[in-house]
Structure 1
Amino acid sequence: MMEMTYEQALLYLESTGKFGINLGLKRIEKMLELMGNPERCYNTVHITGTNGKGSTTAITAAILQASGIKTGMYTSPHLIEYTERIVIDGHPITQQEFGRIVAYTKQFIEQMVTEGWEHPTEFEILTAAAFHCFAVAGVEYAVIEVGLGGLLDSTNVILPQVSVITNVTLEHTDRCGTTVTEIAGHKAGIIKSGIPVVTAAVGPALEVIRSRAAAENAPLFVMDSDFSGERLAGENGLQQVTVRTKLYGDNADLPLTLAGRHQAANCTVAVMAVKILARKDRRITDEAIARGVAGAVWPGRFELFIGQPVIIIDGAHNAAGAQALRQTLDEVYSGRRITFVLGILQDKDISGITNTLIRPDDEVITVAPLSVRAADPRELAAAITASRIEAASTVEGAISKAADWAGQTGVICICGSLYLVGTARNIILSRQTTVPRV
């Protein structure tokens, strides 16, 4: 087998970008078959949803790890490095390991293409490589976040112990449908025969999920019906969550460092999912759940850097995410002036995001995220009403300008795109004047 360095692996993956997003399971199924179906070597939890699926994945994995279970976690996209997508026991794999698993996977892709199959997409390659990596590492559980939708997503080849659908709002309307009902159909596609389902979905989306679960004879656990969460908010977004369930008892006063009501809801969903797993695995105790929740981190989601000024980075990239971010800002920093550094991709709901997020007395510096799909910062600035608006040419320049505007008592919020958040996080961590909250 040919070896690859990390840089060679990235170049190879970049070369597969021409195959775009090509939904379907045939290619990934064939690839995994040739690889010996590594995804069958461990238990899995499958998580989808419009918002919150990444946070829910991180909390679930943290609880399993705190239970003494060797745990893998697969998420997307990454903020800074591809290695962040594949995590074992809380640590991203090394660049050397990333190069090795991509090189290993490539040989089976070449075999597929020789046999006349379509070339897999970048996400399919990464998914297969992650599944292989977890098998080689000997993980007992892997918590798998859906990439896009659910039904036709590359991750939908696993047979999980529990399926999770956090919530459903409009997203990816070019691929998953133009209504919440149609999108819910894609999310509900991860439901498997007889496998328990946990969801916080409401309204028409819940009815679609309920119907699919009934058709698959899958036990359904619905938030605010079969289980619920109560939160007690503290300073700087710290909070405690009490999860109550009808069947599996309560978990009181769980300390959660992820800020906002939406994160309390994500925590509640994750705890419900692991309480289902605990029926078969005695290592998942109430004490382990508390340790896992307390230790859960999810970079780039209302991540707070203490300094003067305070800096928050958040990957809110749709209207629902913007609403959750604004709600949390109003709760944690009521009365404080907010200076936004905002970058949005042009194929996102720009008006929905900005109208939800920006208030007339806010300050906004627009900038282009590092993506070919970035919206023009000058056009974005022209579409916003705020007390002060300026377009910046670089992310670093935007952060410096925001620091000047905010002064020592203001609050800087960097948001709009995970591509922007990843770049900004790298810049902030390279400076010594701010430190992340721990």
Structure 2
Amino acid sequence: MSIELSLERIRRLTSQLPPYSRPTIHVAGTNGKGSVTCILSSILLASGLTVGRFNSPHLISVQDSIIINEQSISYQEYSIARATVESAEQEHGTGISSFELLTLVALQVFEKFRVDVVVIEVGMGGRLDATNVVPDECILLSTLTAVDLDHQAFLGNTVKLIAQEKAGIARKNKPFVLGIQKYAVVENVVRATVDQAGGHFIAAQSAQRRAWDETIDGPFPPTLSLDAESFSPPPPQPIAFTSSAFPNSLSALLSLNGAHQVDNLGLALTVISTLMTHPSCVSRMPKSFSECVMKTIQTGIRNATWRGRLSFHQLTLSSPIPRAMTVLVDGAHNPASSETLASYISTLVTMLDSNPQARILRLTYILALSHSPPKTPKETLAPLLTFRTGTRLSIQTKVAAVGFTPPEGMPWVKSVPPPEIAATVREVAPGVGLWVAPDESEIRGQLESALEWGATEESDIVGIGGEDGVQQLVIVAGSLYLVADFYRLLAKQSDSGR
């Protein structure tokens, strides 16, 4: 089955299901929409609301896409809602896709539990995405994160065309909040699209990085260490935000990693400000909402987490000898997100410069890519493997190329063959150590084999394993589906350790 963007099928089936009525925030974008949904959900939950969230693709199991109060729904609840949708589908034969079915299951679950507000991430594009079936009267506001080139085969070959498709979620008489953009053309085309739909265009206000203030933020955290035995994570990011909705400048700590998350936070806080002040939103939100937000927003910001996006984890491999490692996972899957990951790695290197115990940094990339023409492996990997940073540290890099487990219900998603990834690595970063999973081998076990290679071969090649001053970091990236495989491995290890 291939992807066919259309609202015709899902609208026909929706008319045969119990109506959806939950107040909904709709989030589109190329990069950052998942992060914005998690920040919004965390702030809304901290304010005392019951919050539903829909994200895709899932990580470990399909019900992970459907979240209430930051907890995935149970398999039982998922199965009950799915049975309702499938029964209607069988009766009316609309031929909906897997994603359309999942979207309707999520809406049924949120309606059943009568959640106070729902935050929905667009799957692809916007105008013809299945999530755009949510009725106009349910939409509180729509918002658009950073727009860049991706999925050109479905959305258009230019940023302008892609932005126009994504802005197609705008609704009449409802606010539309646009996040900070890399390309000036985006704002122009989005303004025009929102105006044509009769919506109210709002440009997001920026959040700002500020210096750590111990009177506000508490004692400064320990110096960064990537060593698995004495891991000390990067500190949260101190931010400030000014808005007419807040009488004073808002100061908070953002736990999400990466400078780009400050822009995502600014967009999320503009959305919250709009919910507090725009007449069409105020009339739908609880009367005490603004008062509660003022008291709890710092907690909501600090509690926001987003698995698989610049997330640190500790993993211990049992073979050939027990070995602990620090792993950074990130679903960077296109050139823009690859640049973001490279920028963050540069930031980590700068932080390590202030750790006098660190002399050598070993970076092991484990990479898989989705086959998604016209996007090429070189376009995605070049920013990641060619970044430069001025540092006293000696940086040693190597790469493992693997495949990923095909996601459930998406048979059209295929891995780029590992030898093809390896050829790109040799072209972009000649001379790095390279491990390649056999193209004909089973996908199962490839990631674990790559991790074992990263843990054991390094000391043999360099000859200094275990020496003081060596920091090691494994980076799992290139596809969110590979990140999903990592989380399955992490869960397996956690279960075996009980």
Provide Cα deviations, 1:162-197, integer angstroms capped at 9, x if missing partner.
111001101110000000000011011011112111
Provide Cα deviations, 1:317-338, integer angstroms capped at 9, x if missing partner.
0000001111111102336332
- 1:130 and 1:251 mapped to 2: Cα distance? 37
Greater shift, 329-338 or 286-295, is seen at 329-338
Match of 1:297 among 305, 322, 336: 305
What is the number of equivalent residue pairs in this alignment? 407
Contact 1:61 1:71 in 2 (8 A): yes
Counterpart residue identity of residue 129, structure 1: V
Aligned to 1:271: 269
Contact 1:237 1:332 in 2 (8 A): no
- 2:89 and 2:493 mapped to 1: Cα distance? 42
TM-score by length of 2: 0.78
Counterpart residue identity of residue 101, structure 1: A
> Are 1:60 and 2:76 counterparts?
no
Counterpart residue identity of residue 201, structure 2: L
Aligned to 1:283: 289
Q: Quick one: structure 1 residues 294 and 416, their matched pair in 2 at CA, closer, same or farther if it must change by over 3 Å?
A: same
Contact 1:228 1:243 in 2 (8 A): yes
Q: Quick one: structure 1 residues 291 and 207, their matched pair in 2 at CA, closer, same or farther if it must change by over 3 Å?
A: same
TM-score by length of 1: 0.88
- 1:204 and 1:50 mapped to 2: Cα distance? 15
Match of 1:382 among 423, 443, 453: 423
Counterpart residue identity of residue 28, structure 1: I
Q: Quick one: structure 1 residues 220 and 247, their matched pair in 2 at CA, closer, same or farther if it must change by over 3 Å?
A: farther
Contact 1:343 1:377 in 2 (8 A): yes
- 1:342 and 1:67 mapped to 2: Cα distance? 39
Contact 2:176 2:199 in 1 (8 A): yes
Match of 2:436 among 361, 381, 391: 391
Q: Quick one: structure 1 residues 395 and 250, their matched pair in 2 at CA, closer, same or farther if it must change by over 3 Å?
A: farther
Aligned to 1:8: none
User: Which residues of 2 match residues 29-44 of structure 1 at below 5 A?
Assistant: 29-38=11-20, 41-44=21-24
User: Which residues of 2 match residues 110-121 of structure 1 at below 5 A?
Assistant: 110-113=90-93, 118-121=94-97
Aligned to 2:478: 416
Q: Quick one: structure 1 residues 218 and 373, their matched pair in 2 at CA, closer, same or farther if it must change by over 3 Å?
A: same
1:255 is paired with a residue of what secondary structure? Answer: strand
Aligned to 2:363: 338
Match of 2:377 among 350, 359, 371: 350
Aligned to 1:321: 337
Greater shift, 230-239 or 335-344, is seen at 230-239
> Are 1:218 and 2:223 counterparts?
no
Deviation at 1:431, TM superposition (A): 3.3
Counterpart residue identity of residue 380, structure 1: I
Contact 1:243 1:250 in 2 (8 A): no
2:365 is paired with a residue of what secondary structure? Answer: strand
Aligned to 1:373: 414
User: Which residues of 2 match residues 192-207 of structure 1 at below 5 A?
Assistant: 192-200=171-179, 201=181, 202-207=183-188
User: Which residues of 2 match residues 114-133 of structure 1 at below 5 A?
Assistant: 118-133=94-109
Aligned to 1:150: 126
Greater shift, 305-314 or 392-401, is seen at 305-314
Deviation at 1:87, TM superposition (A): 0.3
- 2:165 and 2:369 mapped to 1: Cα distance? 25
Provide Cα deviations, 1:398-428, integer angstroms capped at 9, x if missing partner.
1111223566621111000011001112213
Provide Cα deviations, 1:297-346, integer angstroms capped at 9, x if missing partner.
11110111247532100000000000111111110233633210011112
Provide Cα deviations, 1:115-155, integer angstroms capped at 9, x if missing partner.
xxx40111111111110110001101010000000000011
- 1:215 and 1:69 mapped to 2: Cα distance? 33
Contact 1:72 1:88 in 2 (8 A): yes
Q: Quick one: structure 1 residues 249 and 169, their matched pair in 2 at CA, closer, same or farther if it must change by over 3 Å?
A: farther
User: Which residues of 2 match residues 16-95 of structure 1 at below 5 A?
Assistant: 18=1, 20-38=2-20, 41-95=21-75
- 2:154 and 2:419 mapped to 1: Cα distance? 29
* Identity percentage of aligned residues: 29
Unaligned runs of 5+ in 1: 1-17
Contact 1:45 1:144 in 2 (8 A): yes
- 2:433 and 2:60 mapped to 1: Cα distance? 30
2:49 is paired with a residue of what secondary structure? Answer: coil
- 2:177 and 2:271 mapped to 1: Cα distance? 6
Tell which structure's C-alpha radius of gyration is larger: 2
Contact 1:342 1:416 in 2 (8 A): yes
Deviation at 1:249, TM superposition (A): 5.0
1:410 is paired with a residue of what secondary structure? Answer: strand
Provide Cα deviations, 1:205-256, integer angstroms capped at 9, x if missing partner.
1111111222234222223xxx111124875152122222356555522211
Match of 2:397 among 355, 359, 362: 362
Contact 2:398 2:434 in 1 (8 A): yes
